[in-house]
């Protein structure tokens, strides 16, 4: 009798995870469509075609939903920062940071767009502070504090050019992977220029 009772339990966790991801996806869609402040839990539940009670089982507030989405982004960013901190402060390391950040950025493109388009709201939430801290840490890792100011600006610009490129190309026709590659190429070139100016300066 023990085995039949265990089977539903082993299947329940994947179902809960799927429901959780679906809530996150739908909430982010609504936040993007009508703004975070104007979106209610009731509307999220209606879009999902579930009761508010079913939604409460997973999340109690909108910020809980947003925080859970942000945590999915924060985890790989923390891993990237931890990796970079253990590497030599070389051009190869900086370019690898950009490559790995490109993977993170395009893996969470909807959240990045939400953060960019709702800066005033995000600034007041924990997710905003965590994101700013992570970006500051990456910026410090990708620049050389002893380099000329122009070189430091190029290095940090390389990081943020990936955000700008994502928005610039979203309304440009073309293969998404080609656009992503072009954006990364620009970022890699900027950090290489910064390195060259230090060596020749």
Q: Are residues 127 and 196 in the same domain?
A: yes
Task: Report the pLDDT value the prediction gives residue 80, as an integer from 0 to 100.
Answer: 96
Evaluate whether residue 2 is within a structural domain.
no
Rg of the Cα atoms in the chain:
20
* Mean pLDDT in residue range 172-176: 86
Distance CA 189, CA 170 (A): 21
The enclosing domain of 135 has a CATH number of: 1.10.357
- Across the chain, mean pLDDT equals 84
Ranking 3-12, 65-74, 93-102, 123-132 by mean pLDDT, the lowest is 3-12
The enclosing domain of 40 has a CATH number of: 1.10.10.60
Q: Give yes or no for residue 3 having a pLDDT over 60.
A: no
Q: Are residues 35 and 92 in the same domain?
A: no
pTM over the 0.85 mark: no
Residue 14 structure tokens: 């994947």
* Mean pLDDT in residue range 84-110: 91
Q: Are residues 51 and 75 in the same domain?
A: no
Domain around 117: 70-200
Instruction: Quote the number of domains for the chain.
Output: 2
């Amino acid at each position: 009798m023990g085995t039949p009772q265990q089977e539903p339990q082993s299947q329940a966790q994947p179902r809960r995870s799927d429901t959780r991801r679906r809530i996150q996806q739908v909430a982010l869609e609504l936040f993007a469509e009508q703004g975070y402040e104007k979106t209610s839990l009731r509307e999220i539940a209606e879009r999902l075609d579930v009761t508010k009670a079913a939604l409460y089982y997973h999340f109690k507030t909108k910020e809980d939903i947003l925080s859970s989405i942000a945590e999915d982004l924060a985890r790989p960013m923390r891993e990237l920062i931890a990796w970079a901190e253990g590497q030599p402060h070389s051009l190869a390391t900086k370019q690898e940071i950009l490559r790995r950040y490109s993977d993170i950025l395009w893996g969470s493109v909807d959240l990045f767009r939400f953060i960019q388009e709702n800066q005033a709201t995000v600034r007041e939430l924990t997710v905003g502070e965590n994101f700013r801290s992570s970006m500051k840490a990456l910026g410090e890792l990708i620049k050389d504090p002893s380099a000329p100011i122009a070189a430091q600006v190029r290095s940090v610009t390389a990081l943020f050019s990936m955000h700008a490129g994502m928005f610039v190309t979203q309304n440009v026709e073309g293969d998404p992977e080609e656009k992503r590659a072009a954006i990364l190429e620009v970022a890699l070139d900027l950090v290489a220029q910064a390195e060259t100016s230090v060596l020749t300066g």
